[in-house]
Structure 1
Amino acid sequence: MILAHLPTGYLIGGLLERHLRPATCSSRLWMAVALLGAFAPDLDMLYFHLVDGRQHHHHSYWSHWPVVWFGTLALALTWRQLARRALAPVMLALFTLNGCVHLILDSVVGDIWWLAPWVDQPFALATVTPRYQPWWLNFLLHWSFLLELTLLGAALWLARRRRRNTAAQVAI
């Protein structure tokens, strides 16, 4: 996925905000954590380019391992049950939920090592065939890009709706 991670993080943050955001957490902080979680697995691109020299697929790093993200989400949800009023477990759950969704989105046309570290085997729903130059044109002309545009459109719709609701509340 090229475009969909941040819009999907916005969608998840926006849809969960009304039901799960603690009163002690601002809407701005809530959304910042959601967006950071949606992007966090790709922070490994710094290591990929600056240290690894692009020798290994960045999805093979531990920061893209589902066991890390889903395991941390399970811990956050358990912590949330034990500390109902604490802000940290809710924020950690939001962050890691968006990291988990990042991996699911990457699995559409990108290899994800779903069984790492036990099995060194990538999985993807579909493959983008390299036909065009530059490389990114292959992704833009692939059917999966419609999914990305749909998620982007849904996030823009939600942002507009939230802005209207905020303006209406201010007017009252």
Structure 2
Amino acid sequence: MFIAHAPSGYLLATHFVERARSLPVRASLAVAAGVIGGLAPDFDMLWFYLVDARQTHHHKYISHWPVLWLSLLMLALLWRQVRPSSASAVVLGLFAAGGLLHMVLDSVVGDIWWFAPFVDRPFALFTVPALYKPWWLNFFLHWSFALELAICAWALATWRRRQRARPIRGVR
């Protein structure tokens, strides 16, 4: 995935916010947590380019280990059980869910080490053949990019629907 991680985090968080009976946190903060969580695994690109000199596939870094995101999600759920009114638990839960969704989406055509650090084997649903140069053109011309565009369109439609439903300040 290249462009759909933030929109998918937005969709995940807005779905949660719209269905929650009550939240101990502002909806905007909850949505931001989902969006940032959806992007967070790729923050490792800074290390990949600036420190590691592209020596290790960035999906092998701990930020792309599903066990990290599952652990954070479990921590948030336990925290919420102990302190049901905890805003931090909700924010952490949405952040972790966004990170886990990132792993799922990357698994469509990108290698994810689902059992890292225990098993050193990547998994992907489909392979993108290397037909074009530069390398990223292979992804933009692959059918899976249509899935990314669909996620982006869905997020845009959701955002527009939410904007229309929002009351305009100062107008009664």
Q: For residues 29-108 of structure 1, what are the structure 2 equivalents within 5 Å?
A: 29-108=29-108
- The match for 1:156 is 156
TM-score (norm 2): 0.94
Question: Shift in Å at residue 131 of structure 1?
Answer: 0.6
- Residue identity matched to 1:105: L
Task: Note the C-alpha offset of 1:167.
Answer: 3.9
Task: Quote the RMSD (CA, aligned, Å).
Answer: 1.7
**CA–CA distance in 1 between the matches of 2:17 and 2:47?**
32
Per-residue CA deviation, residues 33-70 of structure 1 (Å, 9 max, x unaligned), is 11110000001101111111100000000110011111
Residue 135 (structure 1) aligns with: 135
The runs of at least 4 aligned residues of structure 1 exceeding 4 Å deviation read 21-24, 168-172
Aligned identity (percent) is 51
Give the structure with the larger helix fraction: 1
Mark the CA change 1:90 to 1:78 in structure 2 (over 3 Å): closer, same or farther: same
Tell me if the contact between 1:22 and 1:87 (Cα under 8 Å) persists in the aligned partners. Answer: no
> Which runs of no fewer than 5 residues in structure 1 stay unpaired?
none
| Residue equivalent to 2:124 | 124
Give the alignment's TM-score, normalised by structure 1.
0.94
Structure 2's unaligned 5+ residue stretches are none
CA distance in structure 2 between the aligned counterparts of 1:158 and 1:134, rounded to whole angstroms: 33
